[in-house]
Chains A and B, each alone.
Chain A
Amino acid sequence: MTAAAGDRGNGTAMEIRLTVNDAERVADVAPTTTLVELLRDHLALTGTKVGCGHGECGACTVILDGRPVSACLVFAAQCRGRKVLTIEGLSASGEADRVQRAFVKAGAVQCGYCTPGMIVSAYALLSSNPRPSRREIEEAISGNLCRCTGYVKIVDAIDGASE
């Protein structure tokens, strides 16, 4: 594997193995490579977005061992042996997940840049709380910024997917 866009040139590359979207993956990463760089640059999973790189926008949200995390804040090396689920994993079977379908149906997508992270956060919420209140939904996605939609249709979509 060649050096990928996100890597530092320095530092010793190390091999890590992890499970991404139910598949075993191996990659050579630098100690400073983040999980989002691993996904986007090494594993060609570009569905996960970067809006800030500092844990402030939620665009890079993925599920790590069942919990939503900002992939820009987690080092790839910390994910050794762990399980990662990304937006691509939600429709791995070729069929969109119900949260994805609900976003389409509710008109919750505009520019779409926040959408993968938003859907992953919603998926994590519904996995742990299948019937959240609107307030619980708003709280669960309060770390995911969206500048386009005003959140109304996003909350509608998650509400719709929970039924």
Chain B
Amino acid sequence: MHDRDDREMGAVGSRLVRVDADAKVTGRALYVDDLTFPGMLEAALVLPGCAHARLLKVDASDALAMAGVHAVVTADDVPGENQVGVVDRDQPLLPSERIRYSGDAVAVVVAETRAIAREAAAAVRAETEEIPAVFDAVRAMEPGAPKVHDDGNVFLEYRVRKGNIDEGFEAADIIVERTFRTHHQEHSYLEPLGAIAVPEEHGGVTIYGTMQCPYYVQKAVATVLGLPLAHVRVIQTVTGGGFGGKEDSPSEICACAAVAAWKLRRPVKLIYTREDDFYRSSKRHPMTVTYKLGATRDGTFTAAQIRVVADAGAYSTLTPVVVFRAAAHATGPYEIPNVHTDAYGVYTNRQTTGAFRGFGQPQTIFANESIVDEVAEALGLDPIDVRLKNGLAVGKRTATNQLLTESVGLPETLRQAREASGWDAKRAERGADSDPIKRGIGVGSIYYGVSLGAKGLALDGSGAHMNVYRDGSVRIAIGGTEMGQGLLTVLTQIASDALGAPTESIHVDHVDTSVVPDSGPSVASRTTLMTGNAIIDAAEKLRATMGEVASELLGVPTGEITFRDGRVGAGDRSIAFAELAAECWARNVNTAADGWYAAPLSTFDEDGQGDAYAIYSYATHVAEVEVDTRTGHVRLVRVTAAHDVGKILNPTTLEGQVEGGVLQCAGMALYERMITDGGDILTPDFSTYILPTAMDVPEIETLFIEEPYSRGPFGAKGIGETPAMPGAVAIANAIYHATGLRFLELPITAEAVRLALADGRGR
């Protein structure tokens, strides 16, 4: 799609130092809580904490009597529609009649200071009447279960039907079936959610906040204030981590701040406490996955039947997209001729669940990759051999019957991970029975449809605005968000090569919705691909207009002009990019351009058949563990992470994303579990919700495979999600290899291991 392939690349592929690193190491980077505006007030939320209740009255009299309190804002103060649902319109911003989970807020208290606001929020009394609640998605599906919404709890159903499932199982020599469970995982981005709403003199409002999806926020704020989109400007501040957790939830906090600011006509800041964040932000869906896999004696898969039940919590938020992804990918990265998948999204009175790196897949991966290992063992085959035998490759078809035509790096990830980890020798090793420390090695492989696929078509375009100033410096506005992953840096590299301008001359800004058209969400590993292509599109337009001026100046035909290394021209006739920019300015030539990229069409019919995503990324992780059979403690010793990324744009940022993902996998596999009791979260902080620390880091080897994608920027595909996907089950499989214990539930805590061993399970 772009004519750059003939050029050797400059900035792309290099280890360009992060463009935002200086600001971040010196403390100069401004996150939302670092900003202040004249006359700004502070806000806090009132959470009654009920799991399911009728709201009878909000009594704010005590709070309003406190010195420094300006207002207690409730549903009555919402000037527009009291609604923040992202996909379905099922979520009031501030419920006025019914509370559906303990994170529902019924009022926003605004005061002179944050401390006063929080104290006053605690003084607001909500009169409620409890109604029966349901806390388990499987139970919520049963007839007679308490209804979270009046239409019933099962609000979503996807199916995939390929081939003939009965014939598939008949052809099998062996069938393995099991049910797996996973629980809420908290994103635990270090920067809590926060927002500032500033009323503007022209009648609109400007929102500043930490977020992944400014255009979602714009829509939500416009809805609650009843304003046209043009009057809502959203500026993303430096964002302290997202991982999917800042996709849907920022709409709520920004809308709360906006309603309060609107009422008081003053800037209002709302920053969540960590506990607020645990209660109110979306988590990884707890899922119950039943997986049945059939295979012939030589290890060829013949049929897979899968049932996925996803706990959406009280509101659907992103569940329709997350469960779609889970359904489409539920078989794992294998060609299986007969597939029968049912996936359900179910309301419960628990925390809402949305996007978390992997987007619904890590839960089904835990099931499918555990089962693949069981099948391999039952047949006496090596797990990697079985994966290679059935794994997707060019010319094979996915569960949705999509023919893969390019850029399928799965086999190579398996081969390289096997080699680099020393798999064959370690797999054969058996420690002495007397040794209380058992060693094991396990594998997990995944595929991941990049971007939004068939259920996000309307959102799947992205823009960029590129402005070349007369001194040759370049400023670029984008619609995708930097949340820590390194986007601004790789986009600087892409722009540099696309324009032939040095990286130092380029500056890429965080999103401002008033500059770039709605570019959809920054999720699903789509941002580099989509925004990168939009930048390339803008650069192509600028090369065309600026190239004409260069052609005139140099007397070289436009067709021969190239832009590279800061110079424009052909052969020995060239001028500096900056000089050309000045010349364009002097001639009144426009040197700003808009770029746009729209994803190719994808399809998914009623039977779940079609080209669900335009392109897939692939990865294999091999994990090595030591299990102390006396304590149950699992030490993650080493992880080999092989990723097919299409094209490496910046090895440093890539490694960083993979290393961070490996540790999130370790957390999901071994430590992280949000424990709830009714509506109460028993682990609402980092001393009870256990995150991996620097002491838990294994040796990590990252391997990158480049199977270029013809429509990717310089061949690149997405990398955002995949590092957080194969690792958890690789660890579970390694624990099995070490101990003979097959866990059907994550996390596998030391306690779980010890109890299983005490039960006499395992070898």
Contact = CB atoms under 8 A, between A and B. Distances in A.
B29 interface: yes
Contacts of B155: none
Interface in A108-141: 109-116, 119, 137-139, 141
Interface string B429-456: 0000000000000000000000000000
A27 B661 CA distance: 43
Contacts of B658: 150
Interface in B77-115: 111-115
A150 B659 contact: yes
B190 A107 contact: no
Contact of B190 (A59, A96, A119): A59
Interface stretch (B20-28, B561-569, B710-718): B20-28
Contacts of B116: 8-9
Contact of B17 (A59, A105, A145): A105
Interface residues of A, number: 62
Interface in B261-316: 269, 273-274
B190 A109 contact: no
Contacts of B269: 5
A81 B295 CA distance: 74
B113 A150 contact: no
A9 B274 contact: no
Contacts of A45: 27
Interface string B475-513: 000000001111000000000000000000000000000
Interface in B393-421: none
A161 B380 CA distance: 50
B660 A103 contact: no
A100 interface: yes
Nearest to A32: B115
A7 B28 contact: no
B27 A142 contact: no
Q: Find the residue from A9, A45, A104 having the highest chain B CB count within 10 A.
A: A9
Interface string B670-698: 00000000000000011100010111010
B65 interface: no
Contacts of A4: 113
A71 interface: no
Interface string B30-43: 11011010000010
B18 A107 contact: yes
B694 A138 contact: yes
B352 interface: no
B29 A112 contact: yes
Contact of B274 (A53, A107, A137, A152): A53
B204 interface: no
A107 B113 contact: no
A155 B24 contact: no
Contact of A87 (B27, B36, B660, B686): B27
A130 B656 CA distance: 26
A79 interface: no
A6 to B, nearest CB: 6
Contact of A109 (B24, B112, B187): B24
Given A51-B274, A107-B653, A116-B27, A152 B700 contact: yes
B700 A51 contact: no
Contacts of B655: 107, 152-153
B619 to A, nearest CB: 15
Contact of B113 (A5, A109, A144, A153): A5
B191 interface: yes
Contacts of B472: none
A143 to B, nearest CB: 8
B18 A109 contact: yes
Contacts of A146: 190, 694
A29 B187 CA distance: 34
B115 A113 contact: no
Interface stretch (B238-246, B367-375, B735-743): B238-246
Given A110-B660, A151-B663, A103 B25 contact: yes
A52 interface: yes
B659 A152 contact: yes
B27 A110 contact: no
Contacts of A162: none
Given A47-B27, A87-B27, A153 B115 contact: no
A46 B115 contact: no
B725 interface: no
Contact of B484 (A46, A49, A57, A112): A112
B67 interface: yes
Contacts of B26: 47, 87-88, 90-91, 96, 100
Interface in B108-154: 111-116, 119
Interface in A21-51: 32, 40, 45-51
B217 to A, nearest CB: 18
Contacts of A110: 241, 484-486, 656, 660
B21 A51 contact: no
B517 interface: no
B31 A49 contact: yes
Contacts of A107: 15, 17-18, 652-653, 655-656
Nearest to A51: B190
Contact of B21 (A49, A86, A103, A154): A103
A149 B664 CA distance: 10
A65 interface: no
A1 B480 CA distance: 40
Nearest to B663: A150
A148 B191 contact: no
Contacts of A3: 68, 112-113
A54 B694 CA distance: 19
A146 B239 CA distance: 14
Contacts of A115: 24-25
A113 B240 contact: yes
A112 B188 contact: no
A48 B190 contact: no
A80 to B, nearest CB: 21
Contacts of B659: 149-153
A110 B66 CA distance: 42
A87 B31 CA distance: 15
Nearest to B700: A152
Contacts of B67: 9-10
Contacts of A87: 25-27
B249 to A, nearest CB: 16
A111 B42 contact: no
A151 B190 contact: no
A150 B191 contact: no
Nearest to A158: B694
B240 A112 contact: yes
Contacts of B22: 96, 104
Interface in B1-30: 15, 17-18, 20-30
Contacts of A139: 694-695
A56 interface: yes
B523 to A, nearest CB: 16
A77 to B, nearest CB: 15
17 contacts: A8-B119, A9-B66, A32-B115, A47-B26, A54-B274, A87-B27, A104-B17, A107-B15, A109-B25, A112-B25, A113-B240, A143-B693, A144-B694, A150-B658, A150-B660, A153-B655, A153-B659
5 closest Cβ contacts across the A-B interface? A47-B27, A111-B484, A113-B240, A112-B24, A150-B659
Given A9-B113, A56-B274, 7 more contacts: A47-B26, A96-B25, A100-B26, A104-B25, A111-B241, A149-B656, A153-B659
Interface of B: 15, 17-18, 20-31, 33-34, 36, 42, 66-68, 111-116, 119, 187-192, 238-243, 269, 273-274, 483-486, 652-653, 655-656, 658-664, 685-687, 691, 693-695, 697, 700
Interface of A: 3-10, 32, 40, 45-54, 56-57, 59, 86-88, 90-91, 96, 100-101, 103-105, 107, 109-116, 119, 137-139, 141-155
